[in-house]
Chains A and B, each alone.
Chain A
């Protein structure tokens, strides 16, 4: 049975190497429910749009785009529906629109992939917390891959690495703790952070890592099976894909930031201003639900590098980790690296008490 679940044929070398997947032809999913409903709804929006108050707001927002071509496609984008509820045709249109706009904006051929989840695949991640040396290469790799904003004013990083103290115990600390005047009985020596606690340093910047008194813990989206962020989203713009990642339709997000409030892992980031993504650094191979360039006022987060993983490639952070602490694979495949780790190693989920069931596991040797 397990054999069937392993995606064998689909992962040819060409796909792995090229990771091309423009994906228009790969858009195939079963006809969405109520395609007619959603298109008639859109028709309705188009009809009333000209006079509705909402469209006045849109007009105000769009007037800032001086470039005519860009404004045109943005209008069409503005009227598009929730990606998940679009028909195949609508999805293809939306993608073509974006490819055109991005290609113009970034001065190169940009592809927007719409590849859907493969059957029999559930992505999972495992991170060897014992191995991590805190070098932050995963953080920067993620930025390179996923087209985040990069400027002093608006720097966006989806992975945060925490430096944690191993704990320091010494004779001269025996009297640390509460002042005795409080009349409270407390300890002294061990009265400091030690081990895996979320009281780390986020901005550590030593000459070299790892430091002998510290260990490190990277945190990013856990792709929860029961994601609180999805539950609180008022307009269903963020949802769980069938192969596991929690994604966002950036064109449908209203920027209310409920999801940021609800996430126990602080995995979501917001585009406070227009993202700053230099043309030459832009990664032109994108996915609609993944790393395509975002606009101001919307939320974004890790998607397990959908644009890569749906074509068989490891996520960017896995490939760049110099110590091989990051492991990724198909949770439905007993032969996969993650499944082997789950079998063999002691794993834990961060904040398991939140009952969010992450598909991101930490483990130790």
Chain B
């Protein structure tokens, strides 16, 4: 089987540049879609869940967004665009209430051609080993594949991503996991955090506060970027954001110099 794969790889290699050009062409077209996106505002981190402001009843929008940062500032409808969370392997809070999530799977920007042209199980050529290598594609998501900090070199792409089904993640046994529930994947390693998350201590939820109320749960990747887990020197699980405006200075003060003088006597 291994032999077979190598042979195939060789033949397909010849076609490789072609598909790259094809994919590049496809990506070039995408900016057209961006103007639409400007009306959306991001929820927790840029590049993850988005909300599209609309009026759900007169004078009552589903969300209000920040004109300064483009982030969601207020929820009129916390369950906007959500679906039931689905099953979790270990019983958690939501079994008492109602848990919903904002699905990501249907938002994945994968073109039909990707599955056929690139990730068809045959293509791209399956790497010889798991050692880090420079990626040809997707450098926009993973800028430095040779120095992926997630797992500190202990894991590689296909430990999380399904080999053939690019809209799926994968568990330890090769079973697929939906992008809507990455916690099943992340929880494999991050046990204590996963436990805190299940109990509502870690992570974010919106909706009803009661322990048996209806809540929208934010899943791992809505806040954390698995491809950039420590944000370089920042060493933080969160990407940096533009902050909202500082308060207006009280009367009498012209600047904030006094705040930065930290010589205490």
Partner-B contacts on A (CB < 8 A): 6-8, 11, 13, 16-17, 108-109, 133-137, 139-141, 144-145, 152, 155, 157, 160, 165, 178, 191-193, 199, 201-210, 212, 284-285, 309, 312-314, 316, 318-324, 327-330, 333, 335-337, 340-341, 344-345, 365
Contacts and interface: CB of A to CB of B under 8 A. Distances in A.
A318 B75 CA distance: 10
B223 interface: yes
A328 to B, nearest CB: 5
Contact of A319 (B75, B203, B234, B247): B75
B226 interface: no
Given A201-B259, A312-B213, A206 B265 contact: no
Contacts of B58: 108
B183 to A, nearest CB: 13
The residue in B64, B71, B74, B236 that gathers the most chain A C-beta atoms within 10 A of its C-beta is B74
Nearest to A186: B265
Contact of A324 (B202, B235, B264): B202
25 contacts: A6-B212, A13-B98, A16-B213, A108-B59, A133-B236, A136-B245, A137-B73, A140-B66, A144-B64, A155-B247, A157-B247, A205-B246, A207-B242, A212-B235, A284-B59, A312-B209, A318-B206, A319-B74, A319-B206, A322-B223, A323-B44, A327-B201, A335-B212, A340-B200, A345-B201
The 6 closest A-B pairs by CB, nearest first: A324-B204, A208-B240, A136-B244, A335-B211, A337-B200, A319-B206
Contact of A203 (B66, B208, B256): B256
Nearest to B233: A212
Interface string B208-226: 1111111000100001000
B259 A202 contact: yes
B253 to A, nearest CB: 9
B205 A324 contact: yes
Given A285-B60, A313-B207, 20 more contacts: A6-B210, A8-B210, A16-B207, A16-B214, A136-B244, A137-B73, A139-B244, A193-B262, A203-B259, A205-B245, A208-B243, A212-B233, A284-B59, A319-B74, A319-B78, A323-B204, A324-B44, A324-B205, A327-B200, A335-B211
Contacts of A199: 262, 264
Interface in B11-50: 43-45
A276 to B, nearest CB: 12
Contacts of B43: 322
A172 B206 CA distance: 48
Which applies to chain B's interface (DSSP): helix, strand, loop or mixed? loop
Contact of A337 (B211, B238, B264): B211
B201 A11 contact: no
Contacts of B208: 11, 16, 312-314
A204 B246 contact: yes
B212 A203 contact: no
Which applies to chain A's interface (DSSP): helix, strand, loop or mixed? loop
Contacts of B211: 6, 329-330, 333, 335-337
Contacts of B256: 201-203
Contacts of A365: 196, 202
A68 B204 CA distance: 48
Interface in B164-203: 196, 199-203
A4 B93 CA distance: 18
B72 interface: yes
Contact of B262 (A178, A192, A210, A322): A192
B223 A324 contact: yes
A108 to B, nearest CB: 5
A139 B75 CA distance: 14
A201 B260 CA distance: 7
Nearest to B265: A178
A335 B96 contact: yes
A346 B231 CA distance: 27
A178 B196 CA distance: 46
The residue in B66, B218, B234 that gathers the most chain A C-beta atoms within 10 A of its C-beta is B66
B252 to A, nearest CB: 13
B200 to A, nearest CB: 4
Contacts of B69: 135, 137
B201 A134 contact: no
Given A145-B74, A192-B262, A312-B213, A134 B207 contact: no
Interface in B72-90: 72-75, 77-79
B66 A137 contact: yes
Given A212-B235, A340-B200, A144 B209 contact: no
Contacts of A160: 247
Nearest to B239: A208
Contact of A313 (B209, B212, B241, B244): B209
Contact of B243 (A108, A135, A319, A336): A135
A314 B209 contact: yes
A320 B240 CA distance: 16
Contacts of A309: 209
